[in-house]
Amino acid sequence: MSASATALAPLRKATARIDRQTPAHRDRAIDGLRALALLAVPTGHWLLGGFTLDAEGGLHNASPLAALGGLAPASWVLQMLGIFFLVGGHASALSFGRRTGSTRAWLKGRVVRLGRPVLGVTAVWALAAPVLYAAGVPEATLRTGATLVIQPLWFVGVYVVVTALTPYCVRAARRLGGWSAAPLLAAVAVVDFLRYGPLADSVPSWVSLVNILPGWLFAYQLGVSWGERRIGRRGAWLLLAGGTLLFAALLAVFHYPASMVGVPGAARTNSHPPSLLVLALASAQSGAAILLRDRLAKLLARPALWAPVVMINLSAMTILCWHQTAMLAAAVPGSFVGELAGLTTAPDGADWIAARLAWMPVFAALFVGIARYARRFEGPPREGRRARALRRAVAGLLAAGFAVFALGLA
Query: What is the tens place of the pLDDT at every residue in 127-155?
Result: 999 999 999 999 999 999 999 999 888 88
The pLDDT score that the predictor gives to residue 5 is 57
Q: For residue 3, tell me if it sits in a domain.
A: no
Residue 3: pLDDT over 60:
no
Residue 178: pLDDT over 70:
yes
Contacts of 67 (CB under 8 A, 6+ apart): 346, 347, 348, 349
Percent of the chain beyond pLDDT 90? 70
Cα distance between residue 84 and residue 86, in whole Å: 5
Q: For residue 332, tell me if it sits in a domain.
A: yes
Whether the pTM exceeds 0.85: the reply is yes
Q: For residue 18, tell me if it sits in a domain.
A: no
Contact, 282 vs 82, CB < 8 A?
yes
Q: For residue 132, tell me if it sits in a domain.
A: yes
Q: For residue 118, tell me if it sits in a domain.
A: yes
Q: For residue 236, tell me if it sits in a domain.
A: yes
Residue 388: pLDDT over 90:
no
Q: How many domains does the chain contain in total?
A: 1
The pLDDT score that the predictor gives to residue 8 is 64
Residue 190: pLDDT over 60:
yes
**Vertex 114 angle, CA 317 and 90, to 5°:** 85
Host domain of residue 236? 28-406
Contacts of 244 (CB under 8 A, 6+ apart): 280, 284
Residue 148: C-alpha distances to residues 42, 144, 170 (Å): 12, 6, 35
Q: For residue 15, tell me if it sits in a domain.
A: no
Q: For residue 38, tell me if it sits in a domain.
A: yes
Residue 221: pLDDT over 90:
yes
75 or 389, which is more confident? 75
